[in-house]
């Protein structure tokens, strides 16, 4: 039994600390937005979770290619971990976005490109896990998982682009402006501090969870091999 | 087994690839011509879906104009999964897939063969559904633009669907899994096909139909290429 690496334990502790600080910055330090009021504070975590989840999905697609090229099961474990953590983070993004949208857009949900793409992306990766669940052979599970993650990872941006042919009301706070967007605002310096710290914090938390998940995957693998040895 | 290996085994004589593809297509069409089970199931299922939509949406003259393209594509999508499932399940159940894989041809020939035969089944069903729908709802669906959209949409659907059905038949959940895998990734096809068909039915100028149409073409090219590249990994034993 390998023990938990010290760096990982330290990272665990650091994650808790940065989450605390990010919460403080978002809820108390950042000024209240003039038009939307307190609910705008959801924004910091909304972007933090969205950013890390998207990075995770992109990583998953990269691991797909890596697995299909090398057939090394290590990439498969990396991929599952990335998809699993990202799925949870992206779900948080959607929930936080809905909380914000209720007062800002006067509805929990609209069929805006980003929202629709987010929902479709969640469904793609839920389907990914359903596919994996139906396969017993680990090598085939990895192959099919990689193929589906690749197809899904390619299709999600196309979906976004397709729906973008319609209009959007989702605000773009960072870069680019959309005259039709509702609920956009300009960030003040203090808001920026809270914003960038939230990005940083969620990146750390993501890496920590991701690392833990990979370690779990490795251990699972070992247990499975030991079980095989016993039954042989 | 990788592409280069199988290729060296298959004597890359010019035209042999096309011969292999057409052999797979011919085999599927002939088997279907004898049993007609897949085709009749798809057709009856499509007509039932249209019937259900009739009650679900109260397809009166006014709503008909705006929802026809949506009803058509929902019908094609649902009937399509039925056909895709069946066409791969036959290969798997009777051990035909192993026979196909043993054949000294490039794996991608099998993929394209299956895509073309799946596409053929879809198109035949669509060709019958269109006049029936036209008669039932008094809308002329035989417009060259609309037929082009249906062809392009069906190509994208069959290209991804064939790949995913080859995966789903090898899992424990089988037929249940295919729509779950397929629908979220073909949303761009359905979306742009609905937009483009709706545009043609409403008689919009071509500039407004151009963007969904080009998206459809882009999707077809990208996903056929990717599916072709990864198909080896899906059928490998």
Under an 8 A CB cutoff, do A135 and B181 touch?
Answer: no
Q: Which residues of A touch B227 (CB under 8 A)?
A: 151
Binary contact (A163, B191; C-beta < 8 A): yes
Please state the pTM of the whole predicted model.
0.87
Q: What are A29-82's pLDDT values in tens digits?
A: 888 877 777 888 888 899 899 999 999 999 999 999 999 999 998 999 999 999
Question: What's chain A's Rg over C-alpha atoms?
Answer: 20
What pLDDT is attached to residue A146? 95
Q: What is the DSSP string of chain A?
A: -PPPPHHHHHHHHHHHHHHHHHHHIIIIISPPBTTTBGGGGHHHHHHHHHHHHHHHHHHHHHHHHHHHHH--HHHHHHHHHHHHHHHHHHHHHHHHHHHHHHHHHSSS----HHHHHHHHHHHHHHHHHHHHHT---HHHHHHHHHHHHHHHHHHHHHHHHHHHTS-------SS---TT-SS-----HHHHHHHHHHHHHHHHHHHHHHHHHHHHHHHHHHHHHHHHHHH-
Q: Which site among A139, A144, A145, A150 would you substitute to test the B interface, given the most B Cβ atoms closer than 10 Å to its Cβ?
A: A144
- The ipTM (two decimal places) reads 0.87
Question: CB B234 to CB A131 under 8 A?
Answer: no
Q: What is the pLDDT of residues B67-111, one digit of tens each?
A: 888 999 999 999 999 999 888 888 888 788 888 888 888 888 899
pLDDT at A78: 93
Optimal mutation site among B92, B185, B194, B215, interface A, most CBs of chain A within 10 A = B185
Considering only alpha carbons, which residue of chain B is nearest residue A156? B185
pLDDT of A181 above 80 = no
Q: Provide the pLDDT confidence category of residue B4 given band limits of 50, 70 and 90.
A: very low
Q: What is the pLDDT of residue B6?
A: 46
Question: Contact A120/B187, CB-based, under 8 Å?
Answer: yes
pLDDT one-digit tens code per residue, B144-199: 889 999 999 999 999 999 999 999 998 988 878 999 999 999 999 998 999 899 88
Probe site for chain A from B171, B207, B215 (most A CB atoms < 10 A):
B171
């Amino acid at each position: 039994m390998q023990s938990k690496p010290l760096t990982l334990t330290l990272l665990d502790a650091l994650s808790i600390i940065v989450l605390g600080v990010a919460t403080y910055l978002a809820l108390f330090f950042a000024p209240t937005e003039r038009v939307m009021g307190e609910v705008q504070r959801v924004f910091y975590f909304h972007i933090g979770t969205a950013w890390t989840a998207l990075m995770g999905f992109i990583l998953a697609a990269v691991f797909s290619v890596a697995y299909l090229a090398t057939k090394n099961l290590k990439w498969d474990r990396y991929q599952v971990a990335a998809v699993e953590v990202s799925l949870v983070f992206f779900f948080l993004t959607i929930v936080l976005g809905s909380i914000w949208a209720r007062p800002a857009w006067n509805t929990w949900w609209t069929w805006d490109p980003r929202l629709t793409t987010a929902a479709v992306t969640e469904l793609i990766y839920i389907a990914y896990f359903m596919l994996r669940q139906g396969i017993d052979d680990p090598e085939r599970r990895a192959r099919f998982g990689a193929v589906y993650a690749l197809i899904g990872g390619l299709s999600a941006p196309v979906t976004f682009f397709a729906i973008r042919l319609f209009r959007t009301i989702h605000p773009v706070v960072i870069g680019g402006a959309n005259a039709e967007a509702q609920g956009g605002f300009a960030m003040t310096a203090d808001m920026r501090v809270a914003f960038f710290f939230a990005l940083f914090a969620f990146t750390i938390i993501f890496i920590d969870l991701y690392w833990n998940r990979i370690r779990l995957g490795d251990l699972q693998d070992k247990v499975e091999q030991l079980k095989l040895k016993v039954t042989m | 087994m990788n592409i280069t290996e199988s290729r060296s085994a298959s004597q890359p004589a010019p035209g042999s690839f096309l011969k292999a593809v057409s052999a797979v297509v011919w085999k599927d069409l002939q088997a279907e011509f004898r049993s007609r089970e897949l085709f009749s199931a798809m057709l009856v299922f499509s007509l039932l879906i249209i019937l259900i939509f009739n009650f679900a949406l109260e397809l009166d003259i006014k709503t008909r104009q705006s929802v026809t393209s949506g009803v058509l594509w929902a019908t094609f999508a649902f009937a399509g999964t039925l056909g895709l499932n069946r066409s791969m399940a036959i290969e798997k159940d009777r051990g035909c897939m192993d026979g196909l894989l043993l054949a000294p041809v490039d794996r991608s020939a099998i993929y394209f063969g299956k895509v073309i035969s799946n596409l053929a089944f879809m198109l035949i069903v669509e060709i019958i559904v269109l006049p029936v729908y036209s008669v039932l709802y008094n809308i002329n669906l035989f417009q060259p633009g609309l037929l082009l959209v249906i062809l392009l949409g069906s190509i994208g659907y069959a290209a991804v669907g064939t790949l995913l059905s080859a995966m789903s038949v090898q899992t424990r959940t089988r037929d249940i899994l295919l729509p779950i895998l397929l629908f979220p990734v073909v949303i761009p096809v359905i979306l742009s096909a609905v937009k483009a068909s709706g545009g043609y039915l409403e008689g919009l100028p071509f500039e407004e139909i151009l963007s969904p149409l080009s998206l459809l073409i882009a999707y077809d090219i990208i996903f056929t290429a990717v599916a072709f590249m990864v198909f080896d990994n899906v059928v490998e034993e």
